[in-house]
């Protein structure tokens, strides 16, 4: 929200969402506007306070064999013995869908590796 265009885009988004929520087609499904509330102005302070990111960070500790990768196929950190990374950061690219399922699989894989290694 540092640039004036950010606030302008956010204001347009809030306006659009409010219009959609008040559309006749949605009346059977909408009880009331909760935030910011009917009659309440969605001013810049509201927008700044309500803004959150829904980004699913991926690739910040990506898996691979090139010089930019952080972990190998066993999720072990290159050059660090005994350390693994098991979250969405190991994905080389953002998935086309929600990252929850891939992250669950990523978490299960090293758990199985540790169980096998220590015969648990």
Distance CA 1, CA 52 (A): 11
Q: For residue 109, how far is the Cα from the chain centroid?
A: 21
Task: Summarize pLDDT for 13-65 with one digit per residue, the tens.
Answer: 999 999 999 999 999 999 999 888 888 888 888 898 888 776 667 888 989 89
On whether the pTM is more than 0.85, the answer is no
Q: Is 72 helix (H, G, I), strand (E, B) or coil?
A: coil
Choosing from 3, 5, 56, 78, which is the catalytic residue?
Answer: 56
Mean pLDDT, to the nearest integer, of 98-111?
90
Q: Determine whether 3 is an active site residue.
A: no
DSSP state of 1: -
Convert 31-52 into a string of H (helix), E (strand) and C (coil).
CCCCCCCCCCCCCHHHHHHHCC
Q: For residue 5, how far is the Cα from the chain centroid?
A: 23
């Amino acid at each position: 929200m540092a640039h004036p265009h950010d606030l302008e885009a956010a204001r347009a988004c809030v306006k659009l969402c409010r219009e959609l929520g008040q559309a006749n087609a949605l009346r059977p499904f909408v009880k009331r506007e909760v935030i910011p509330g009917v009659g309440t102005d969605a001013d810049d302070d509201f927008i700044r306070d309500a803004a959150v990111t829904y980004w699913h960070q991926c690739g910040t500790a990506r898996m691979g064999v090139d010089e930019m990768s952080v972990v190998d196929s066993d999720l072990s950190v290159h050059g660090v013995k005994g350390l693994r990374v098991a979250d969405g950061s190991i994905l080389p690219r953002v998935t086309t869908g929600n990252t929850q399922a891939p992250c669950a699989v990523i978490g299960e894989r090293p758990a199985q590796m540790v169980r096998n290694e220590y015969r648990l």
